Amino acid sequence: MFQEILVHLGEGLLEAFQPLNMMMIFFGCLAGLFVGALPGLGSVNGVAILLPVTFLVPPTSAIIFLAALYYGAMYGGAISSITLGIPGASTAVATVFDGRPMAQKGLADQALMAAAIASFLGGTVSIVLFTLFAPPLAKFALAFGPPEEFSLMILAFATFVGLGGDDIPKTIFSILIGLLLATIGLDIISGRPRLIFFDIPGFLHGINFLVLAIGIYGIGEMLWTLETTQGKVQVENVKITWKRFVSNLKQVKEYIGGATLGSFLGFFVGTLPAAGATPASLMSYGLTKTFSKDPDSFGKGKPAGVAAPEAANNSASTGSMLPMITLGIPGSPTTAVLLGGMIIWGLRPGPLLFAEHPEFVWGLVGSMYIANFVTVVLNLALIPVFVKVLATPFTVLAPIIFTLCVVGGFAPTQDMHDVWLMLLFGVFGYLLRKLDYPVAPAVLAIVLGPLAESSLRQTLIAGQGSAAVFLERPIALTCFFFALMLVLYPVYQAFTRKGKKKAEAAEA
Amino acid sequence: MKNSFKKIITGVSALALCTTAAVTAAQAWEPKKPVELIIMAGKGGGADQMARLWQGIIQQNKLSPRPFIPVNKPGGSGGEALQYLKSKAGDNHVVMVTLNSYYTTPIMQPELNVDISTFTPIARMALDTFLLWVRPDEGIKTLDEYVEKVKAAGKDWKVGGTGSGQEDSILTAMMEAEFGYDVTYIPFPGGGTVAKNLIGGHIDSTVNNPSEQSEFYRAGQSMPIVQFNDERSPAYPDTPTAKELGHDIVYYMQRSINGPADMDPEAAEWYRDLFKKVFDSAEWQKFCNEDGIDCSTWLDAAGLEEFHKNGLARHKNLIEQVGAKAITGE
């Protein structure tokens, strides 16, 4: 079987090395970088806008182009997260947590490099996993029913503990705010409207996750920076020399652990239909922080805090291709658009695609290996350009950030209602920050809340009101067990640390 | 009133006249910005696949100067999409792909305050069909075996479907009334997810549309037991209809395009002309044939208005007959 895979992969690589396909990879990656870096545009819209271009070339070249674009966008999202503090796409929100503080310290080049290298690692791990285990993994994805989905969501919630810092009541408050915002809109199970404030129709589609994230991080951050710096340039112009590049490269060992964890976690979460790259990157950040030797330094500019989510989002983007190709079910919004493309090209995704169109599937796989190299090279080469942004005075940068935030708030739903909401969240985020509340748990809660709610209710309907179903599902039980461990781990850590401190005090 | 009169005139006039009118209208109005193609269901489901195929056909054949952007609004059994379309009155750059929830959701959720007769009917693209699907490992070959098994399982029998209070749950409730059993119905956000949950063994049967199950069927992972059309669909010649077996359950899914209220008649005419070309395209007809969807008759404005009126009345009747509670499972 292994040999067979190698033969297929060789053919796939040969296919990807065709001049036309190589060109597709290069331009796809480049377009993806820019699409990802522009807030609110994101890979979904990028793929949707460029879908018609692909009708001019054969299907294999077309999917290669779109996959490269998807891939490049995952890298690109990190650029605006780090340099401007606005998440370029929902998948890059977790990158802001540490990327932005690093940039403020004048370490933007290090952050961008951590993002590029981690993304490369994530991409490589996931594509190797994809090559070797696609069919069995597809079976595993099928084993995920509503009870398993719910248990996975609980596992993700448990990583909140790692996201919140020391103040547990404030973390819980933040989670609850996020969950409350997530219940706004029409209920998916009964179809009834919930919490439609003042009967404003804009609330019917719920609160878009990106609206909250751009508001809190983009606008909130801008207000905060304006207050603290009074508009003065806070970052010195970093001279990128070869020496600095090499010394940055040596930093890799600091974050390789988090990036590896993120790579595997991202792929796994990405393969599950309905999850996708955004929860994967947030979970990866939370887990890396929890298991770090020094969790308190996260959120203040730690390279591992950039590497973990970036590895996960690239890995998940490959992972979410798996249910699309083998089951015809998109694992993320972007793959949903890709799926539409495949149908137009006359390819029906499903369990038979591997057997009936091997040249297509393996050409895609081969192209992902190459796209991975192309993007990492492009990224490393463009770091000096991106860092230049930070040398701009903040009085010039602030209006640009504001404009990008407004566009980013408007783009996903094209509704002015969301722009007002985004600005409101910006002020809210600024106040939370002044009061020292963690906002990341609220952001995660609004992503996972709806998924958790519907899977729990589907499970309970299936069990006719009884939760006993969970006890019969080994995968669900495993997830619950790990979730419990995750919650208890920081408590255990806190106790041992207290003990240590007491002992030190006694010695002194 | 004036508008609908004009539509009726257009509808019944001779074909030549009709085409000339369409051509002049097309010259008079064209989209000036990207057109939102609202899908009142989730990604990966039947409606979604079709909308994306239409988008592709439009772009591939350069039928529109501006692109069509599909936007999924699956919330609340299509309630979100209906509300959205209502809020877009007079907007010439929004059209919606509708399902039967176009009829059922306003009936089931009166608080939405949506009256579909105010919307602008553009064209009917197809009548999609329903089949009853199970997994081969369940050992069910015929409808009788199915009914026997479900009766024995009672509430432990899990039927999955898209949303609650819409077509899948109505068809499930119709079957419950006909065969005298009571199952547990589990709503999912889209037909693709429903199909995956059947294959994964999390539910026991579904009433998926063919496009959602055909690939799994070809791979031998699912099989149809009975179809709910008037006659056997050419794509499934070996599967009996419920009617043949003496059970009067006939149910179709409409796939039509509708615009918001007060759309300019010229704009509506432009879209109608466009979707006629899509309907006639080889790609669309091939898709229909492969999936057993009935694409033999295209309905224009007048035909679609009449069709919607009947559809709304039939669903009011059906919901009264089986009871709203049997559909929502409350």
pLDDT digits over A134-179, tens only?
Answer: 878 888 888 888 898 888 888 888 876 666 566 778 888 888 888 9
B1–A contact, CB cutoff 8 A: no
Identity (one letter) of the amino acid at B90? G
User: Does the pLDDT value for residue A506 go beyond 60?
Assistant: no
Minimal C-alpha gap between B53 and chain A (Å) = 5
* Lowest mean pLDDT segment, chosen from A71-80, A342-351, B267-276: A342-351
pLDDT digits (tens, 9 = 90+) for B17-67: 444 444 444 457 899 988 999 998 776 667 877 888 888 888 888 899 988
A193–B contact, CB cutoff 8 A: yes
| Domain locations in chain B as residue ranges | 2-128+252-322, 131-251
Q: Which of B49, B74, B111 sits opposite A343 (nearest CB)?
A: B49
Q: Cα separation of A435 and A441, whole Å?
A: 15
Q: Which domain holds residue A301?
A: 2-507
Contact call for A205 and B221, based on CB within 8 A? no
Token duo for residue B15: 């074909």
Identity (one letter) of the amino acid at A411? A
Q: Return the pLDDT at B44.
A: 61
**B94-98 and B120-128: which strand pairing?**
unpaired
- Contact residues on chain A for B191, CB-CB shorter than 8 A: none
Nearest residue of A to residue B105 by CA position?
A: A191
Q: Return the pLDDT at A166.
A: 64
Q: Which of B52, B75, B187 sits opposite A340 (nearest CB)?
A: B52
- Do the beta carbons of residue A438 and residue A216 sit within 8 Å? no
Q: Return the pLDDT at B2.
A: 45
The region that residue A208 occupies, defined by phi over 0 for left and psi between -120 and 50 for alpha, beta otherwise, is beta
Confidence grade of residue B145 (pLDDT, cut at 50, 70, 90): very high
The number of residues making up chain A comes to 508
- Do the beta carbons of residue A214 and residue A422 sit within 8 Å? yes
Distances (CA, A) of A220 to A172, A407, A413: 21, 16, 21
Q: Return the pLDDT at B257.
A: 95
- Do the beta carbons of residue A304 and residue A255 sit within 8 Å? yes
Split into its structural domains, chain A has a count of 1
CATH architecture of the domain with residue range B131-251: 3-Layer(aba) Sandwich (3.40)
Q: Return the pLDDT at A239.
A: 65
The per-residue b/e assignment along A78-106, b for 16 or more CB within 10 angstroms, e otherwise, is bbbbbbbbbbbbbbbbbbbbbbbbbbbee
B101–A contact, CB cutoff 8 A: no
Q: Cα separation of B155 and A157, whole Å?
A: 32
Contact call for A344 and B111, based on CB within 8 A? no
Q: Cα separation of A150 and A147, whole Å?
A: 5
**Complex ipTM over 0.85:** no
Q: Which of B84, B196, B215 sits opposite A273 (nearest CB)?
A: B196
Q: Cα separation of A479 and B127, whole Å?
A: 43
Q: Cα separation of A85 and A350, whole Å?
A: 40
- Do the beta carbons of residue B288 and residue B295 sit within 8 Å? yes
A244–B contact, CB cutoff 8 A: no
Token duo for residue B281: 């395209």
Q: Return the pLDDT at A442.
A: 85
Q: Return the pLDDT at A438.
A: 80
Minimal C-alpha gap between B330 and chain A (Å) = 9
Which of these, B97, B116, B95, B104, lies nearest to B47 by C-alpha position? B97
pLDDT digits (tens, 9 = 90+) for A445-493: 887 888 888 889 989 988 888 888 888 888 889 889 988 888 887 777 7
Contact call for A191 and B52, based on CB within 8 A? no
Percent of chain A past pLDDT 90, that is, above it, reads 7
- Contact residues on chain B for A336, CB-CB shorter than 8 A: 43-44, 48, 72
Q: Cα separation of A24 and A16, whole Å?
A: 9
pLDDT digits (tens, 9 = 90+) for B65-81: 988 888 878 766 788 88
Q: Which helix (H) or strand (E) holds A11?
A: helix A2-16
Nearest residue of A to residue B79 by CA position?
A: A191
Confidence grade of residue B228 (pLDDT, cut at 50, 70, 90): very high
**Mean pLDDT, chain A, whole residue set:** 82
- What is the mean predicted confidence (pLDDT) over A292-300? 80
Q: Return the pLDDT at B92.
A: 93
Q: Return the pLDDT at A501.
A: 59
- Do the beta carbons of residue A25 and residue A64 sit within 8 Å? yes
CB pairs under 8 A between A and B: 158
Domain B2-128+252-322 carries which CATH code?
Answer: 3.40.190.150
- Do the beta carbons of residue B207 and residue B130 sit within 8 Å? yes
- Contact residues on chain B for A206, CB-CB shorter than 8 A: 75
Which of these, B318, B140, B128, lies nearest to B226 by C-alpha position? B140
Token duo for residue B12: 């019944």
Return the higher-pLDDT residue of A205 and A465.
A465
Contact call for B44 and A143, based on CB within 8 A? no
Contact call for B202 and A146, based on CB within 8 A? yes
Interface subset of B 236-275, CB within 8 angstroms of A: none
Contact call for B52 and A333, based on CB within 8 A? no
Q: Cα separation of B7 and B300, whole Å?
A: 9
Q: Which helix (H) or strand (E) holds A354?
A: helix A353-356
Q: Return the pLDDT at A163.
A: 61
> A144, A151, A342, A348: best mutation site toward chain B, by most B Cβ within 10 Å?
A348
B91–A contact, CB cutoff 8 A: no
pLDDT digits (tens, 9 = 90+) for A38-62: 776 677 777 777 776 677 788 888 8
- Do the beta carbons of residue A39 and residue A86 sit within 8 Å? yes
- Do the beta carbons of residue B35 and residue B64 sit within 8 Å? yes
A474–B contact, CB cutoff 8 A: no
**B131-134 and B223-227: which strand pairing?**
antiparallel
Interface subset of A 61-120, CB within 8 angstroms of B: none
pLDDT digits (tens, 9 = 90+) for A211-256: 888 888 888 888 887 887 765 655 555 666 777 777 777 777 888 8
* Lowest mean pLDDT segment, chosen from A59-63, A190-194, A268-272: A190-194
A460–B contact, CB cutoff 8 A: no
Most confident of A228-237, A376-385, A496-505, B265-274: B265-274
Q: Point out which residues pair with B96 in neighbouring strands.
A: B38, B258
Q: Which of B59, B69, B164 sits opposite A189 (nearest CB)?
A: B164
What are the E-state strand segments in A65-187?
A: 185-186
Identity (one letter) of the amino acid at B317? N
| Same topology between domain B2-128+252-322 and domain B131-251 | yes
Report residue A144 CA to chain centroid gap. 21
Q: Point out which residues pair with B205 in neighbouring strands.
A: B159
Q: Cα separation of A414 and A398, whole Å?
A: 23
B68–A contact, CB cutoff 8 A: no
Nearest residue of A to residue B108 by CA position?
A: A191
Q: Which of A188, A273, A350 sits opposite B75 (nearest CB)?
A: A188
Q: Return the pLDDT at A226.
A: 81
Q: Return the pLDDT at B9.
A: 44
pLDDT digits (tens, 9 = 90+) for B293-318: 888 888 888 899 999 999 999 998 88
A392–B contact, CB cutoff 8 A: no
Q: Which of B44, B76, B287 sits opposite A336 (nearest CB)?
A: B44
Helix axes A108-142, A252-271, angle to 10 degrees: 30
Interface subset of B 166-195, CB within 8 angstroms of A: 184-189, 192-193, 195
Q: Return the pLDDT at B7.
A: 47
- Contact residues on chain B for A454, CB-CB shorter than 8 A: 189
Interface subset of A 305-324, CB within 8 angstroms of B: 323
Return the higher-pLDDT residue of A96 and B4.
A96
User: Does the pLDDT value for residue B8 go beyond 60?
Assistant: no
- Contact residues on chain B for A344, CB-CB shorter than 8 A: 52-53, 56-57, 60, 283
- Contact residues on chain B for A414, CB-CB shorter than 8 A: 36
Q: Cα separation of B248 and B260, whole Å?
A: 35
Neighbours of B201 (CB within 10 A): 13
- What is the mean predicted confidence (pLDDT) over A9-26? 86
> B39, B50, B196, B328: best mutation site toward chain A, by most A Cβ within 10 Å?
B196
> B112, B186, B218: best mutation site toward chain A, by most A Cβ within 10 Å?
B186
